[in-house]
Amino acid sequence: MEPHKLYFLFSLLFLLAAYLLSSFQLKPSTATLMNLINRNLPLFKSISSEEEEVRTYIVHVLPPENANEFLTDDERLKWHMSFLPESHDSSGEPRLIHSYSHAISGFAARLTPRELKAMEAKEGFLSAYPDGEYHPTTTHSPKFIGLIEGSPGLWRDANYGKGIIIGVVDSGINPTHPSFNDDGMDPVPPGRWKGSCNFTDPNHHCNKKIIGAKGFNGTQRNPPLSDDMKHGTKVASVAAGNFVEDAEVLNNAKGRAAGVAPLAYLAVYKVCFTTCRDSDVLAGINEAIKDGVDVLSISLANKATIFNYELLTKGAFTAVKSNIFASFGAGNEGPSPGTVSNLAPWVMTVGASTVDRTLTAMVKLGDGRELFGQSGYQTSNAQGGIFYPGGQDAAAKYCWSDDLPKNKVKNKIVLCHSRGNYYDVEKGRLIEFLGGAGLVLLNNETVGSITTPQIHYLPASYLSFSDSAKIIQYVAGSRSPRATIEFKGTLIPGLSPAPVVGAFSSRGPSNATVNGGILKPDIIAPGVNILVALPTPAPGPRVPGSSKKFTWASGTSYATPHISGVAALIKAVHPDWSPEAIKSAIMTTANTEDNTGKKITDQTSNPAGLFEVGAGHLDTREARDPGLVYEKGDAQQRYDDYVSYLCGLYENYQVTDIISSKRRVDCSKYKTMRPEELNYPSIGLIMGLTESSRKMERVVKNVGVARSTYRVKIVSEADEVEIQVSPDNLQFRELNERRSFEVTIRAGSRAGRGRSYEARMIWERELGPEDTGDKYVVMSPISVAFT
């Protein structure tokens, strides 16, 4: 066998392993698909052949009617055990995996379907779900969202997040990374923090930055917390990485790195081991609530958009009720519509977009044209004739076939279609092995303009779909096509508009059966080619002088901690603000335009819709001082509203389950509320085309200037929908005063069935002649779909 064939075989195996390893990040594994299928099966019908198969269930139970609502740990454990047949199963494994005290009223246990069925008859049993899996969804970005060191703004006002605790529920952390140094930090005040530090590695310790670390891996006690999945460290560094002076990615992008809330505390909950099980994630959320975090950052998404099964957002309900702000990734299943995860209205659902930085690797064609590609590794320039295996054969197109002949590759720039993952790197290694000069990776139409360059061993450049078409056309029309790859380092601002919605970022509309049509995602934040901390130096080219402590990463996983960090900063400025107020502040001050002053676009270079951007792009410049916030009543009233909203969509027992109530919810005691009536900072409405109109109330609280008058403006691009707001002005005399108004929406004469339309509602503060106060702009997206 020729040596390169041997190498090819070896690579194939390696690739397979790499693919299996990487697949959890982007696609559901077969196991998960099975889970999703199983989840849709009626759970309590007889499952004959599987009668005896033990698996983990998350069981929701109600306390005995006359019991004290606050059980001691001991009482709770006993009560949970009382549902189980015996404490160990036939194989000697303990039955009880987690006994939840805060996140839900219930426990996780190993049972056979037969045993589960028996449990169903017990008093207090409410529901059970088979355990499923969640998937991790993958610095200049603080500056891009308006955080600038030493300048007036949110960073300075919030003292970089000092005093706020961000809980990251993910795959663990390497606490020795320089991003987690505790320079400039104070010890957490006594009484403020109930967590503890459970690192098992003798070289890993908590400090003034990482104040808590715990792991949940089924019944294993005190599991190791190291980040073998290389996800949690990256996420934590974006949310609250401290300043690091000499950050670089393979000697490129040199400078000072920082997370969004660089002086916030971090509490780490490792719940992803080889996978992230629902039962463990819930245990992490449970512990975070108990320990006293202020913000929960969860970069995990489950593809199942079935409300009852979105266990994480269920756990988050209790968190939000306990005044904890919770942000979740929208998922990486874009660009198809209807892919968004984490749909509950009490969480912030975050999509991902680009920043204004290009990791430039220019491709110069023989005819003089220049195509601006990107490369994760900037090395020495390369040039040569072009070899494009192309053709119809998919394997050939991806340069992944047996007939990548050495004589055609040697000294050539090879064009290959990109797979957008580690496959690309492996085929680069093969081309390098065969003597190729360089590699140009081509985008397909689906991912369009969004390139997420990997770190290659040879000179490489990733091209957008339109530039890919240009180079293919050039090769087809030229006798001896040639190209040069030229590295120009990181350019700020980059070459295309920013932000642009990431092709992979999951899109709305929400599944209306699930959340009634609440507009999701709520917002987009930087999540494409983000500088993140690496738990261990990554493989890749040998680059003398590089510490390999940082890399580039993409995904809604990295957009989410941007929002968590900003929520922590706002909380530092306004310690008394509710999660709803913080969410409103972030949403109503989001930017709807890009850095060229045009409407934000997506990977197709066309204007993005509300189902892609929600309220728009995170912009911290106004977020600490939004003028008005959408917040109604006190915590109890907001809680009642969520229940009213859920009662409009679900049966009593389902509502009890979703909000993890300790008492059976009786919806007849609540005023039923339609989804659009929830006091949300956006409006997502689904209505019949022939319905006369829909009315919804909104309540805003004045957090800006005491004496203020606001006037409303509706901006809509189409006259297919009529929107009226009454009254059209709101007068405030003091701070924290609330005013309500009513929005009436009806179909215009040109509205079409099955279509959706968008508009924005903008409240603007009027400035009197001697008024030097802020002119606030409070903007909400409105999406109306006609059925």
Ligand X SMILES: *[C@@H]1O[C@H](CO)[C@@H](O)[C@H](O)[C@H]1NC(C)=O
Alpha-carbon gap, residue 231 to 25, rounded angstroms: 9
- Select from 735, 737, 743 the least CA-distant residue to 678: 743
What phi and psi, each to the nearest 5 degrees, are found at residue 505? -65, 125
Tell which one of 46, 82, 220, 736 touches ligand X (CB under 6 A): 220
Question: Which residue matches tokens 């040039």?
Answer: 383
Please list the residues that pair with 364 across neighbouring strands.
370, 484
Tell which one of 218, 438, 453, 684 touches ligand X (CB under 6 A): 218
Alpha-carbon gap, residue 699 to 741, rounded angstroms: 7
Which of 308/383 has CB closer to ligand X? 308
Tell which one of 181, 446, 536, 724 touches ligand X (CB under 6 A): 446
Only one of the segments 415-423, 453-461, 537-545, 772-780 lies at the binding site for ligand X (rule: CB under 6 A); that segment is: 415-423
DSSP-derived 3-state class of residue 254 = strand
Question: CB count, 10 Å around CB of 35?
Answer: 22
Tell which one of 63, 153, 224, 773 touches ligand X (CB under 6 A): 224
DSSP state of 125: E
Only one of the segments 185-193, 212-220, 488-496, 704-712 lies at the binding site for ligand X (rule: CB under 6 A); that segment is: 212-220
On whether the CB atoms of residues 340 and 332 are closer than 8 A, the answer is no
Q: Is 493 in the site for ligand X (CB under 6 A)?
A: no
DSSP-derived 3-state class of residue 236 = helix
Rounded to the nearest angstrom, the gap between the alpha carbon of residue 609 and the centroid of all alpha carbons in its chain is: 18
Tell which one of 513, 596, 606, 726 touches ligand X (CB under 6 A): 513
Catalytic residues: 170, 231, 557
Q: 370 Cβ partners below 8 Å, 6+ apart?
A: 362, 363, 364
Q: Is 514 in the site for ligand X (CB under 6 A)?
A: yes
Least Å distance, CB 517 to ligand X, is: 11
Q: Is 196 in the site for ligand X (CB under 6 A)?
A: yes
Tell which one of 32, 418, 554, 564 touches ligand X (CB under 6 A): 418
On whether the CB atoms of residues 388 and 474 are closer than 8 A, the answer is no
Only one of the segments 107-115, 216-224, 602-610, 626-634 lies at the binding site for ligand X (rule: CB under 6 A); that segment is: 216-224
Q: Is 444 in the site for ligand X (CB under 6 A)?
A: yes
Please list the residues that pair with 617 across neighbouring strands.
524, 591
On whether the CB atoms of residues 131 and 56 are closer than 8 A, the answer is yes
Question: CB count, 10 Å around CB of 480?
Answer: 7
Alpha-carbon gap, residue 345 to 677, rounded angstroms: 12
Least Å distance, CB 24 to ligand X, is: 15
What phi and psi, each to the nearest 5 degrees, are found at residue 323? 75, 25
Tell which one of 99, 217, 242, 313 touches ligand X (CB under 6 A): 217
Q: Is 269 in the site for ligand X (CB under 6 A)?
A: no
Which of 304/567 has CB closer to ligand X? 304
Least Å distance, CB 383 to ligand X, is: 26
Alpha-carbon gap, residue 105 to 101, rounded angstroms: 7
Which of 56/588 has CB closer to ligand X? 56
Which of 325/328 has CB closer to ligand X? 328
Binding mask 447-466 for ligand X (x = CB under 6 A): x-------------------
Which of 305/780 has CB closer to ligand X? 305
DSSP line for 130-172? E--EEEE----HHHHTT--TTSTTHHHHTGGGTT-EEEEEES-
- Select from 35, 218, 231, 37 the least CA-distant residue to 133: 35
Which of 144/650 has CB closer to ligand X? 650
Only one of the segments 219-227, 395-403, 598-606, 609-617 lies at the binding site for ligand X (rule: CB under 6 A); that segment is: 219-227
Q: 510 Cβ partners below 8 Å, 6+ apart?
A: 305, 340, 343, 517, 518, 519, 520, 684
Site residue total, ligand X (CB under 6 A):
24
**β-strand pairing of 370-374 with 382-387:** unpaired
End-to-end CA distance of the chain: 64
Cis geometry, peptide bond prior to residue 335 (ω within 30 degrees of 0): yes
Tell which one of 105, 305, 461, 592 touches ligand X (CB under 6 A): 305
Least Å distance, CB 198 to ligand X, is: 4
Binding mask 270-289 for ligand X (x = CB under 6 A): ---x----------------
Binding mask 695-714 for ligand X (x = CB under 6 A): --------------------
Least Å distance, CB 166 to ligand X, is: 19
What phi and psi, each to the nearest 5 degrees, are found at residue 259? -80, -175
Q: Is 419 in the site for ligand X (CB under 6 A)?
A: yes
Tell which one of 46, 222, 637, 726 touches ligand X (CB under 6 A): 222
Q: Is 229 in the site for ligand X (CB under 6 A)?
A: no
Least Å distance, CB 422 to ligand X, is: 12
Which of 11/418 has CB closer to ligand X? 418
Tell which one of 306, 573, 699, 767 touches ligand X (CB under 6 A): 306
Q: By Cβ distance, which residue is nearest to ligand X? A: 420
Least Å distance, CB 432 to ligand X, is: 21
701 Ramachandran zone, left/alpha/beta (phi>0; psi -120 to 50): beta
Least Å distance, CB 137 to ligand X, is: 15
Least Å distance, CB 421 to ligand X, is: 7
Q: 8 Cβ partners below 8 Å, 6+ apart?
A: 402, 430
Q: Is 169 in the site for ligand X (CB under 6 A)?
A: no
Which of 258/319 has CB closer to ligand X? 319
Binding mask 331-360 for ligand X (x = CB under 6 A): -------x----------------------
Question: Which residue matches tokens 């992490």?
Answer: 284
The pair of three-digit structure tokens given for residue 451, joined into one six-digit string: 């390139």
Question: Which residue matches tokens 């200049």?
Answer: 140
Least Å distance, CB 348 to ligand X, is: 21
Which of 401/547 has CB closer to ligand X? 401
Residues 563-622 that bind ligand X (CB under 6 A): none
Q: 27 Cβ partners below 8 Å, 6+ apart?
A: none
The side-by-side arrangement of strands in the sheet containing 133-136 is: 276-277, 133-136, 300-301
Footprint of ligand X on this chain (CB under 6 A)?
196, 198, 214-215, 217-218, 220-224, 273, 305-306, 338, 418-420, 444, 446-447, 511, 513-514
